[in-house]
Homo-oligomer: A and B are copies of this chain.
Amino acid sequence: MDNRPINADRLWADLMDLADITEPGRPWTRRAFSALYLTGRDLIANRMRAAGLTVRLDTAGNLIGRKEGRRTGLGTLVIGSHSDTVPEGGRFDGILGVAAGLEVARVLQERAIELDHALEIYDCLAEEVSPYGLSCVGSRAVAGTLTDAMLARTNDTGETLQAGIDRMGGDSTRLTDAKRTNIAAFLELHIEQGPVLEDETLEIGVVTAISGVTRVLIEVTGRPDHAGTTPMASRADALVAGAELVLAVRRRAESQSARGLGHFVATVGEARVIPNAANVVPQFMSLLLDIRSEVRADLTAFLAALEGDVAAIATHHVGVTAVLKPVSDNPPAPSDPQLMADFRHAADELGLKQRDLASGAGHDMAWFAHIAPSAMIFVPCLGGRSHCPEEWADRDAVAKGTDVLFETLLRADRRLAQTTPSE
């Protein structure tokens, strides 16, 4: 694509230069709150400045590059994502969204394009689960949902998240200053982290919603008998009952996913057995479920069915009881319909194959959606793999996504300026 607005080589160089800033021998690792993370942000800030942006840190430690608009009072268009990685993660998750914002700013600069709105590129602090056990630290602050309890969480060394934010250049005494009320639109570009676009050989996925994330714990309690002496018929084996519930979760999730109203998946990712000794019939098993639902009704139906399975354990297994306990519940964050339409039109104009799909993963967008019209797009990634060193997206694929982001920005700027009278 010779007439594409953005420079694919320049974008790729940003990605690879950031990838080089990794823990040696443990690619690709640039954890939020580390010294390496600050090194990565220095590179981003320098390239923001070279693209004509004014760089600042907000009080929550978000790194922001700003370009003023032709008009005032219109609010700000934001392109954002994050530059931190999980341990032994990839080179694209989050980083692509920040690099794409940077490239968009450079194209505006070199073509001397003036937007009506101000534009800000956000490198949000700590989108991945941080050493303090919390994800989306920066974007939660922008939405005003970072609580004192969250700030009091500690890392392995006992440092609080609050102190960590200050160490990253924030000012936790004025955290509410990071909250935004004047964002006209939030846009994000991200790798899919799933196999759908690759499987269907599509180039752009327009995200309909960030799925809600609900976590529940199933606790199964039996009796710790001697594994050698207790006859099979006399056992109350928590692992056997727990295994039935693992299969029930799978069966219910498959059926809910097939007949549901939107994206739906449920996973038992964590399982613990007590005492977990070779010669003792398991006394206890816990199962931590992660449930992602684009549509709330799917979650409700799934949990109602699962409650029945959990209650039935006591009747199927004499001496075994099971309970289901809520752990956390973040509702779905739907995309703004008009921004979705902007994305779709931009992709059509560029001749790119696209579809709508929900995001099963969490993103900074979910928090910006609390306070502003927000939307995001996906580009395909190899094998749907993510959060691993093998995470990969093609140069051409990320360039196409950035093209769409650029065209959508121009389109949203025009549309939103028209609907807001001049001052």
Q: Is the CB of B281 within 8 A of A269?
A: yes
Tell yes or no: A333 within 8 A of B by CB.
Answer: no
Q: Find chain B residues with CB under 8 A from A416 CB.
A: none
Q: Is the CB of A290 within 8 A of B270?
A: no
Q: Is the CB of A384 within 8 A of B288?
A: no
Tell yes or no: A139 within 8 A of B by CB.
Answer: no
Assess A276 versus B282: contact at CB under 8 Å? Given A229-B384, A387-B226: no
Nearest-CB residue, chain B, relative to A224: B388
Q: Is the CB of B269 within 8 A of A270?
A: no
Q: Is the CB of A362 within 8 A of B277?
A: no
Q: Is the CB of A228 within 8 A of B244?
A: no
Please give the distance in Å from A352's CB to the nearest CB on chain B. 21
Please give the distance in Å from A239's CB to the nearest CB on chain B. 6
Complex Cα gap A398–B231 (Å) = 23
Tell yes or no: A268 within 8 A of B by CB.
Answer: yes
Tell yes or no: A237 within 8 A of B by CB.
Answer: yes
Q: Is the CB of B244 within 8 A of A247?
A: yes
Q: Which of B234, B269, B277, B386 contacts A278 (CB 8 A)?
A: B269
Assess A278 versus B288: contact at CB under 8 Å? Given A193-B229, A228-B213: yes
Which 10 pairs across A and B sit closest by C-beta, in order of nearness? A194-B229, A228-B360, A243-B243, A229-B360, A243-B246, A227-B267, A228-B361, A228-B292, A269-B278, A232-B257
Show 18 A/B contacts (Cβ-Cβ < 8 Å), sorted by A.
A192-B229, A193-B228, A194-B230, A213-B228, A215-B278, A226-B386, A227-B290, A228-B265, A229-B360, A232-B254, A234-B384, A239-B271, A243-B246, A244-B247, A270-B273, A271-B282, A278-B290, A280-B387
